[in-house]
Amino acid sequence: MKQIAITGGKGGTGKSTVATALAVELGKRHKVLLVDADVDCPNDHLLLGIERKPLKKVFQRIPKWDFEKCVKCGKCAQVCKTHAIFALKGKQPVFLPQQCNGCGTCVLACQQNAVGWSKKEIGTVFKGKGHGIDFVSGELKVNEAVSEFVVNALKEEVKKIVKKYDFVLFDTAAGTLCDVISALEGSSIALAVTEPTPLGKHDLELIMKLLKKLGIKFEIVLNRFEEGKEKLIEQVAKRNGKKIASKIPYSKKIIENYSKGIPVRHESINTLAELVK
């Protein structure tokens, strides 16, 4: 099994377009699992027109209070770095679960043992099939903050079935935070998808820095390529000893297919399929 990550420092560069098109292309001759790990905003199933079925719910631990034991000292609120506990002197603490990351500091800090554990549902892992590939995705509930817990739950499900596949493609979220790092772990190659804009250049530099730190081999994919506008990205690639591995053109046909749930078919995707084998 080969694990491939499709990633990018910036949102909206076309990671999902590349991930879905590459998965479908590889799926013509191999057993492929596509993992949508962009749990804040999963959209691979929409791009592929795949109907998802819930596989499991994801929970996060959160503290719960036994107010009979509480002496209203306010210590739990003082130690909470995310400001999930609000306490006025002489009053019982008030808990804001949306801001809690489950770190447990308040549980340790309470000398009265008045803080224990409970849990809350923060997301769902889904599965589906279509275009000759298998598919799993995670989705964080609205108003929840800790997306890496959903990514980790997704990875646990992937671990159970990974042996069935020749290729497992992880479509990560944008950026360089914990949820992206968790989705990148275990990949033997990453495709850094960018676009020919100053923001695309800046965010490509960030994701390349992260991939180098994690020791993951990577290639650069330029989406929305237009003749003459690729210089910015070529310069960054050159500075990092790389070339642009594949260029997906800015085309009306691709955009139309995108909106109809038809995966991109283009020689640039065939190039990528050969590159990652």
Residues forming contacts to ligand SF4 in the complex (CB under 6 A) are: 63, 65, 70-76, 79-80, 82, 84-85, 87, 93, 100-106, 109-110, 112, 114-115
User: Residues, the chain, total?
Assistant: 277
Which residue's CB is nearer to ligand SF4, number 15 or number 75? 75
Strand partners, 133: 130
Q: What share of the chain is helix, strand, coil (3-state, %, to 5)?
A: 35, 30, 35
CB of 62 to ligand SF4, least distance (A): 6
Query: Nearer to ligand SF4 by C-beta: 119 or 239?
Result: 119
Q: CB nearer to ligand SF4: give 88 or 161.
A: 88
Structure tokens at 189: 């190659």
**How many other C-beta atoms are found inside a 10 Å radius of the C-beta of residue 81?**
9
Q: Smallest distance, Å, CB 66 to ligand SF4?
A: 8
Nearer to ligand SF4 by Cβ, of 114 and 184: the residue is: 114
**How far apart, in whole angstroms, are the C-alpha atoms of residue 134 and residue 31?**
8
Among residues 276, 277, 262, 257, the alpha carbon closest in space to that of 24 is found at 262
Minimum distance from residue 178 beta carbon to ligand SF4 (Å) = 15
Nearest-approach distance from CB 88 to ligand SF4, in angstroms = 10
Q: Mention every residue, 6+ apart, whose C-beta is less than 8 A from residue 202.
A: 9, 10
